[in-house]
Structure 1
Amino acid sequence: MKRTYLKGFSVILLAGSILAACGSDDSGSAGSGDGEGLDTNIVTIGTGGSSGPYNIIGTALGERYSSEFGVNSKTQATGASVENMNLLAQEKIEMAFVMSDVLSEAVNGEGNFSEPVNNVQQIAALYPNYVQIVTTADTGIETIEDLVGKRVAVGDQNSGVEVNARNLLNGHGITYDDIQVDYLGYAEAADALKAGQLDAAFLTSGIPNASLMELEQSIDLKIVSVSPEKIAEIAQDQSYFVALEIPAGTYGNEEAVPTAAIMNALVVRSDLSEDDVYQMTKSFFEGLGDLANAHQAATEISLEAAQEGMVAPVHPGAQRYYDEQ
């Protein structure tokens, strides 16, 4: 009897040790790494097309949040900015990458938004999205004005690409009535250009754009320039437009190409707690190296410039992080 009791006691001790170890693992997973864990268990990040910088950078960020905080963090491929703002308004995602022009429309209830989106706040201004108007050498298209009468892809309908394409065209006195419009995302537009089904396409994104890098290998790709003076004129009404250059060699171009750009923004639902957004903001900036390894566009994100050009109210959790720096 004594041996049976000792044997049973040993089994209990062993079982207790296993349970304790499992409990320790569970506890650690909630804040594996240096994070303190989050109140929320899910951080779904709205991005854009699967081949675009939003999705590539967002995937790296989601993996970081999952590893550091032990939460279910993943990206959701979408039609990008307008859809992301609507998903945030419907509380179907927690965080998103959007273009500042769409964010400005959303918080003011303009353009694509019949009423203001009130439950979204900004974490940071990110990197510039370059308006990349691409064509082939045999179309004869040299300027935006040459797009009149041509078949042009303007991005997914109601995407950030489509919003700034429409605004930039309007600034040059061109409406959709003057062109043959196709609503195509990055990959679809690149395929249509390759197949000769388009004359030109707007692909607004960080650079380089993966779809254009692939396309440049198979066709004589040409980037249409946009006059800096015209951009300055348009920016008098739409201040989020800035004049930048696509560097020489980005897509085999021998010289830098002047074009318009719009800052990207990282936004979050305002109902997320101050502590959660503080931790998410801190992790985002501490992980910029990982994000830059995922996509070159993230190399242009910096803590120093993150508060410049914000177009939405900053979340208190993000502000707390900035105040500590």
Structure 2
Amino acid sequence: MKKVLSILAVSMLLIGMLAGCGGGKSTEQAAAKKEFVNIATGGTAGTYYPLGGALAEILNKNVANVNASAQSTGASVANINLLKDGKVEMALVQNDIAYYAVKGTEMFTGKQVPSLKAIATLYPETIQIVTVDKTGIKSIADLKGKRIAVGAAGSGTEANARQILETYGITYDDIKVQYLSFGEAASGLKDGNVDVAFVTAGFPTAAIQDIAAQHKVVLIPVEADKADALIKKYPFYAKVTIPVNAYPNQAADIPAVAVKAMLVVTDKMNADLTFNITKAMYDNLERLKAAHSVGKMITKENSQEGMSIELHPGAAKFFK
């Protein structure tokens, strides 16, 4: 009987040890589980794309078990839809477009995205109204009857173009609208198929630099009184100056308006991961500065300027 009891005891001990080992393995596997973070950016000729690539590098090097990658997209509006559909985990967007999405207005009328949460605002995105000297166009008032690239259909740039033109009393009925990406608009200006292009991005923008390599670029100003009227109706805008020599042969400062670029996720991302992502980004700002000149404008101190939606709890914890 004692022998039987001993065998049973040993058997139970072995079963317990095996169960313990199995439990440990499961915990270890869970700890090592990779978090895939796909970052939606914008077109390759814009500012989001290089910044998104740099951010992916930062996360891969500094956040444990994260596999991050950046992908070229149609920018703000497309990015919010990708987030909503669970096709990406993080995105760069304009602050005005984020607001429209959360509130269900403008291009998100009837398509509200209440799950959208912010990590931080990053830098001003200037609405650059670009032509070449051979068109003879010098002001927004000159745009009537002209071929105007207003950005991709339904994009953040397109909303900016429409709102600025409206402030000058110009509607799409008064111009020949062309819905083009930054790269397509640049090609159109170079080929003479487009008269003016709206480009919403941090300057200098690759698409405009591309034009300047072959033609004398002319930036069209937004006068102070018109900027004031725009800001009164759409408070996300702010006055900015495109400084002299931002582009080749630019001889003077150009008054303009801007929105804010921001980094967003959804409420599906857990707070710890969001905190770690936010910390990694602000601990490695030098990498963002190296990716694009707007990187120098990204600081922890400026992270809440122009904040248009609620912060994700993980980001809010970092900024406390």
TM-score band, normalised by shorter chain: 0.7 to 0.9
The equivalent residue for 2:203 is 207
- Paired position in structure 2 for 1:188: 184
Q: Is the 8 A contact 1:88 1:119 kept in 2?
A: no
Verify: 1:61 aligned to 2:55, yes or no: yes
Is the Cα–Cα contact under 8 Å of residues 146 and 175 in structure 2 kept in the other structure?
yes
TM-score normalised per structure 2? 0.87
Mean alpha-carbon deviation: is it higher for 291-300 or for 113-122? Answer: 113-122
**Identical-residue share of aligned pairs (%):** 39
Distance 1:197 1:283, change over 3 A: same
* Map 1:144-163 → 2, pairs under 5 A: 144-163=140-159
Q: Tell whether 2:299 aligns with 1:305.
A: no
CA distance in 2, matches of 1:168, 1:74: 34
In structure 1, the partner of 2:17 is none
| Superposed displacement of residue 73, structure 1 | 0.8
Q: Give the structure 2 partner of residue 262 of structure 1.
A: 259
Residues 103-182 of structure 1 correspond to what in structure 2 (within 5 A)?
A: 103-113=98-108, 114-182=110-178
SS at match of 1:308: coil
Give yes or no for contact 1:108–1:115 (8 Å, CA) kept in 2: no
Query: Pick from 38, 42, 47: which aligns with 2:41?
Result: 47
* Residue of structure 2 in register with 1:80 after alignment: 75
Work out the CA distance in 2 between the residues paired with 1:192 and 1:107. 34
* Distance in 1, Cα, partners of 2:50 & 2:72: 10
Provide the rounded CA distance (Å) in 1 between the counterparts of 2:285 and 2:160. 27
DSSP-derived class of the 1:112 partner: helix
Q: Could you say which residue in structure 1 is the equivalent of 2:292?
A: 295
Paired amino acid for 2:301: E
User: Does residue 253 of the first structure (1) align with residue 247 of the second (2)?
Assistant: no
TM-score (ref. length: structure 1): 0.86
> Which amino acid in structure 2 is aligned with residue 256 of structure 1?
D
SS of match in other structure, 2:246: coil
Q: Does 1:281 align with 2:275?
A: no
Aligned length: 289
Contact 2:103–2:114, Cα closer than 8 Å, also in 1? no
In structure 1, give the amino acid aligned to 2:80. Answer: M
- Unaligned 5+ segments in structure 2 are 1-27
Superposed CA deviations along residues 95-116 of structure 1, whole A, max 9, x for unmatched, are 1000111111111100101232
- Report the Cα distance in structure 2 between the residues aligned to 1:65 and 1:238, rounded to whole angstroms: 34
How much does 1:140 deviate? 2.1
Deviations 1:16-54 (A, max 9, x none): xxxxxxxxxxx9xx9xxxxxx897611011110012110
SS at match of 1:236: helix
CA distance in structure 1 between the partners assigned to 2:76 and 2:286 by the alignment: 25
AA aligned opposite 2:38: T
Structure 1 gap ranges (5+): 1-26, 31-36
Query: How many angstroms apart in 1 are the aligned matches of 2:52 and 2:169?
Result: 36
Give the whole-Å Cα distance in 2 for the aligned partners of 1:192 and 1:99: 25
Out of 212-221 and 273-282, give the one that drifted further.
212-221
Choose the corresponding residue for 2:87, options 92, 95, 100.
Answer: 92
* Partner amino acid, structure 2, of 1:185: S
